[in-house]
Structure 1
Amino acid sequence: MSQNAPSALSSGASDSSPAGRTAYFDNAKLLAVVLVVCGHFWEPLIGQPEQRHIKALYLLVYTFHMPAFILVSGFFSRGFTAQPRQIRRLVSGVLVPFVLWGTLLALFNGFVTDESVTIKPLTPVWVTWFLIALFLWRLSTPLWRNLRAPVTTATALFLAAGAFSLGAQLSITRVLQFLPCFVIGLVMDPRHLARLREARWIKAAAVISFLTVGGAAFVVAPDFNAVWLYRSAGAPDLHVSYGHWVAEALVIHVVGLVLTAAFLVLVPSRRTWYTSLGAGTMCAFLLHAFIRQAMVATGLYERDALQGLPGQLALTALALALALLLCTRPVRALMRPLVEPRLNWLFRPDAPARSESARVHGPS
C-alpha cells in the first residue's frame, strides 16, 4: 500500500474503524487471489468434453476476478506521485520481480516440458503479465490524476486498442484493455464504496447479479471463447470485425464492473481468521503457477479421476488450500528475497531505498 493512501483506509481495528476498513481490503485481496488460483486449476478442464459446469464456473470467475483485483490496485495507487522513494519501491517491488519471476517460470516450463527455452525479457510469461501491467499503470498515475475525464479517456484507449493486434511485448493489449478498471479505482471516493455497502438492499442485488451472470455463463459455455475474458486480444486476433469486437468487449467490460461492485459489496468488512493472509497474496499469485504447470506436465488432468464431480471438488479444495498456504507468514518470509528484493545497492546513497515492495492489492 502506498504510504500516501487515504488515512481512513490505512489504519485502525474494528468494522467501523479505519482498521476495519484495512481488514476489508485484506479480505478482498485474499478472496480475489483464491479465485485466481482456483481459476487456473480449473483451466485445463474447460476444453474437455462434458465439462460445461466447470467451464461456466470458470467464465463467471474470469468475468470479474481480475477487474476486482485491478480496481483495488488502482485504489491503493491514489497516493503515487512518482516521488523518488515511490519509484524505487516500484522498481524493487514490481519491475525486478517481473523480470526475475518471468525468467524462473520460463525455465521451469522448459524443464517440466523438456522443451528449449527462449528468454524474452519484455514478453511476460503467463501470470507475470500483471506485474508489468501494474508497473505501467502505477507509473502513469500522475497523468490520470490530472486529466479532466480520466475514466472516459481510459475507456477510449481500451476501445481503440481493440482495433489492432498489438503483440505480446509488455502485455500491452491487457494493459490497455484493463486500464479503465485501474483508473476507476484510482478516482474512486472511499465514501462512495461505504455508502454502497450500507444500502440494505444492495447485498441481495449483488447475489442476484452473480446468479444471473452464472446462469448466463452456463448457457453460453459450450460455444463461448474464454479468450474474450483475458482481455489479451483485439479484433484481428479474434478474427471478428472491429464493430463486433467493440460490442462484445463493452458488454464484458460492463458486466465485469457490475460483478466487481457485487464482489466488493459481499466481501466481509470485519477481521476474520483469513484477514492476515491478505498480506501474502503476491506469493500465492506467483508460486501457484509452478505447481499448476507441473500438474499439467505430469498428465494429471488427463486422468479419469478429474473428469467427474468428486475429482473436481477435490481439485478445487486443493487449489483453495494451496492459495491459503502460500499466503502464510512462513512462506512470505522464505520468499521475501525473491518477491521483495533488497536493492539498496542499486540506488544512490543520498536517497536510500527501504526494501518495501509496492504493495499489490489485487491477480490471469
Structure 2
Amino acid sequence: MERQPLFDNAKFAAVALVVCAHTWMPLLEKNRTVGAVVLTIAAFSMPVFIVLCGYFSRPRTGRPQVDGGRLISQLVVPYLVFQLLYNLVGMALEQDLQPIRLLEPRWLTWFLLSLLIWRLSVPLWTALRHPLPIAVLVAAGSGAVHAYPAELALGRTLGFLPWFVLGLVLRPRHFELLRHRTVRALAPFGLLSAFAAIWLAYPKLLNTAWVEYTETAAQLGVGYPVWLAVKAALGLLSLVAAASFLALLPAGRQRWTSLGAASLYVYLLHGLPLKLLQASGVYHARSLQHSWTALPVYGGFALGLAVLLSLPVSVRLFGPLVQPPVGRLLLRAPAPDATPADRPAPRAGTAVPPPPGTPRPAPVRH
C-alpha cells in the first residue's frame, strides 16, 4: 500500500530540525537572536514529531489498541539497547561512573520511554469524549508538584502528553485544511510571529527547560501561576508554529521523501555524533566563535547528519540497534505497519473484506 508523501515529508523535516536544535544548543549564549532561533525551532519541532506519533498510534481495524508485540519490538527492546549504549558512552566521554538505572532515561532515550507510556494509555484517551482538554489539564497540573522524579522522564511524559493526544484526535481532514491556499499564505507569518514572541521573552522569561518540559514551577524558581501562564503562551506559540510548518511542507513526493521512513533512526542515533562533537572541543574553535558563522556551519552539519542516518545503508547497518531482531521472544511477529491514512479507500460497489478472525456466514440453502 502506498504511503502518503506528506507524512514522510513531515517526519523527516521534523526530525532534521530536532537534530539542528540539539546541534545548536551550545550556541544559545551567543546572542539574543541566535537563542531565539534555536528555541523557536525547539518549541515546535519535537511537538510535530510527537503529534505524528500520536496520529499513527490511533486504533486500527483488525489490530488491538495496545499491541504488546509491537511495543516490545519497537520501544522496549530499543530503549534498553540505547539506554545501555548512551550510559556507556557517557561513562567514556564524561567520566560519569554512576550505576546504570534502567528507569532513568539517558539523553535521547526519554522519548522511547515516554512513547511507550503514551501508547499504553491509548485505550484511556480513546474512551473519553473530550480527551484533549483532559490531557491539557494533566499537563498543566504537573507543574504544581515540587520536582519531577528522575524515573520515567515524568516531566516530559506529562508535558508533551497533549501533543500525543492531539495526534490521536486528528483526522485526515484536519491536515487537508493546512493545504488551503489562505492557510499556506499565512504560514510564514505564523512562524515569524512565534519567533518574535520568543525573541521578546528570551532570555528573561524563557530558557531550554521551558521548551524541553523538564522542570516544574518550583524548579524554575517561579510561582505556579507564572509557570502556567508562560506554559499556556508557549503552547499556543508552538501550536501556531507547528501548524505553519506543516502547511509549508510539500504534499507531493520529493527526492527526500523516502528519508522520512527512517526518522526514528535519525532521532536515536544522532546523539552519539553530537556527544563526540561536543567532547572534541570544536565548539570553542576561534573560527566558529561568530554566531553567524557557527549557525550555518553547525546547521549544515546537522542536516547532513540527518540525511546520512536516513539512507538505506545506515538503516541496514544500524538496524540491529534500532530494530533488534526479537521475533523469537514473541508468540507471534508484529503485523507490518499500515496506517489508515495510507490505505486506499474501497471503490464504490466493492465489498470490504472482514477483519481477520471473523467467522464466515453459513451458506444459504434453498
User: Normalization by structure 2: what TM-score?
Assistant: 0.87
Query: Corresponding residue for 1:324?
Result: 307
For 1:313, which of 296, 300, 307 is the aligned residue?
A: 296
Map 1:204-283 → 2, pairs under 5 A: 204-223=185-204, 224-283=206-265
Pick closer, same or farther for the CA change 1:147–1:194 going to 2, 3 Å.
Answer: same
2:43 counterpart of 1:60: no
Query: Which of the two has higher C-alpha Rg?
Result: 2
2:49 counterpart of 1:69: yes
How many angstroms apart in 2 are the aligned matches of 1:30 and 1:121? Answer: 29
Query: Corresponding residue for 2:346?
Result: none
2:317 counterpart of 1:334: yes
- Assess if the C-alpha contact under 8 Å between 1:161 and 1:173 holds in 2: yes
How many angstroms apart in 1 are the aligned matches of 2:259 and 2:102? Answer: 31
Query: Corresponding residue for 1:134?
Result: 115
Query: Corresponding residue for 1:187?
Result: 169
How many angstroms apart in 2 are the aligned matches of 1:40 and 1:285? Answer: 10
Secondary structure (helix, strand or coil) at the match of 1:191 reads helix
How many angstroms apart in 1 are the aligned matches of 2:47 and 2:163? Answer: 6
Pick closer, same or farther for the CA change 1:160–1:141 going to 2, 3 Å.
Answer: same
- Assess if the C-alpha contact under 8 Å between 1:173 and 1:231 holds in 2: yes
Pick closer, same or farther for the CA change 1:252–1:330 going to 2, 3 Å.
Answer: same
2:125 counterpart of 1:150: no
- Assess if the C-alpha contact under 8 Å between 1:34 and 1:323 holds in 2: yes
Query: Corresponding residue for 2:269?
Result: 287
Moved more, 264-273 or 298-307: 298-307
Query: Corresponding residue for 1:167?
Result: 149
C-alpha deviation, 1:229, in angstroms: 0.6
For 1:94, which of 41, 55, 75 is the aligned residue?
A: 75
How many angstroms apart in 2 are the aligned matches of 1:117 and 1:357? Answer: 38
Secondary structure (helix, strand or coil) at the match of 1:201 reads helix
- Report how many aligned residue pairs link the two structures: 335
C-alpha deviation, 1:237, in angstroms: 1.3
Query: Corresponding residue for 1:7?
Result: none
How many angstroms apart in 1 are the aligned matches of 2:216 and 2:294? Answer: 36
Q: Which amino acid aligns with 2:242?
A: T
- Assess if the C-alpha contact under 8 Å between 2:40 and 2:194 holds in 1: yes
How many angstroms apart in 2 are the aligned matches of 1:358 and 1:108? Answer: 35
Pick closer, same or farther for the CA change 1:68–1:158 going to 2, 3 Å.
Answer: same
How many angstroms apart in 2 are the aligned matches of 1:32 and 1:357? Answer: 20
Q: Which amino acid aligns with 2:215?
A: A
How many angstroms apart in 2 are the aligned matches of 1:340 and 1:97? Answer: 7
C-alpha deviation, 1:218, in angstroms: 2.7
Secondary structure (helix, strand or coil) at the match of 1:115 reads coil
Pick closer, same or farther for the CA change 1:141–1:354 going to 2, 3 Å.
Answer: closer
Pick closer, same or farther for the CA change 1:218–1:304 going to 2, 3 Å.
Answer: farther
C-alpha deviation, 1:354, in angstroms: 4.2
User: Normalization by structure 1: what TM-score?
Assistant: 0.87
- Assess if the C-alpha contact under 8 Å between 2:36 and 2:198 holds in 1: yes
Q: Which amino acid aligns with 1:207?
A: P
Q: Which amino acid aligns with 2:184?
A: K
C-alpha deviation, 1:195, in angstroms: 2.7
Pick closer, same or farther for the CA change 1:84–1:63 going to 2, 3 Å.
Answer: closer
Mind listing any 5+ residue stretches in structure 2 that lack a counterpart?
340-366
Secondary structure (helix, strand or coil) at the match of 2:105 reads coil
Mind listing any 5+ residue stretches in structure 1 that lack a counterpart?
1-10, 13-18, 360-364
